[in-house]
Amino acid sequence: MQNLPTPSLLTEELRVRQTALLKRLSECVQEIRRVQDDVLPAIMQECDKHFRTLEIELQKVSLNAAELARREELFRTKLERGEKLTPQMITVVNAIVEKEFARMRRRFNEAFRMTSEERETAVKAHNHAALVNEQELAKMYRAIVKKLHPDKHTAEANTPHALPEEPSSLFAQFWHSTQNAYEHKNQRDLQTIYDLVCAGGEQEFSETNLNGTLQHQEYLKAEITRLEARLRVEERKLRDLTTTEPYTLHDLLKSQTWCASEQERLKNDIHEKQREAERSRAFLASLHADMPLPEPSPEKQHEQAFHNDFMENTYFSSR
């Protein structure tokens, strides 16, 4: 019969597995941070150099074509139902379309007034939006802060701390990420930091008897199961980052042939959207030949002027 490991040997094996998982989790998180903070910004900067102007123009003509197409669709629907074209119908259709596109214009307006740093923060907050356990979030935050600031009292960990005079390497690595995760209630990121920073904070179990040893082993097994789940999540996140754009453009951007081809594709897309807009505009003009559209209000003119300025000066990359 195969000999079973002694309780103390099994405990040590579980600790080794826990340590190995924490090491892999740390490496994975560091690689994610490197990709997000260094690799992707560099790729986007290179993309901007080659495609920024064309993609701004494509955004501009796409929005214009979409609004005209929506007006055409509503008019065609009403005419197919046998409704008579009247000034009132024109007013109603225009009001419907303006209301539908108001949200998009408002989002553009908000983004235009934000700094690039504020836009990045807003995107992160949106991407990480989720229901969180406030009590658990605060508990993890306090534990991390206490670990990073061992000289601080636990009660002081309820709010973000000032930087210590001589930050430790552990502090330098995790402090900013901790504050960002807590501020945006990103429970997943905070949990990962907790796993890494608070490693070794095992429950106190007395191993003077078999019962205490078994309790300790059950705790370690539960921790291993949880860490394996966390590692799967982070590995999937890293895989998603490195198998989609803009990461996959890294090598392509080194090819002048590919860049020229991509520029040509964008130009063709722009021309197609312009043609779509012209077709819709021609249809609307035929309907309104004897019934011109009402002049836009001063508010509408101001809004359109702002929109034109915004589209000319602000870049929304589809990448």
Q: pLDDT (tens digit, 9 = 90+) per residue, 12-36? A: 898 899 889 988 988 898 898 889 8
27-41, 47-61, 131-145, 247-261, range with the lowest pLDDT: 131-145
Residue 90, pLDDT above cutoff 70? yes
The residues, any chain, with a CB within 8 Å of residue 123's CB and separated by 6 or more, are none
Q: What is the pLDDT of residue 132?
A: 53
The residues, any chain, with a CB within 8 Å of residue 61's CB and separated by 6 or more, are 270, 273, 274, 277
Q: What is the pLDDT of residue 289?
A: 41
Virtual CA dihedral for 258, 261, 266, 267, nearest 10 degrees? 150
Segment 187-199 mean pLDDT = 76
Phi, psi of 286, deg, nearest 5: -65, -35
Structure tokens at 77: 């629907």
Residue type at 55 in one-letter notation: E
End-to-end CA distance of the chain: 61
At residue 311 the predicted structure's pLDDT band, cuts being 50, 70 and 90, is very low
**134-165 pLDDT per residue, tens:** 778 888 888 888 877 755 544 444 445 444 44
Higher local confidence (pLDDT), 314 or 116: 116
HSE, CB side, 13 Å, CA atoms: give it for residue 43.
21
Residue 181, pLDDT above cutoff 70? yes
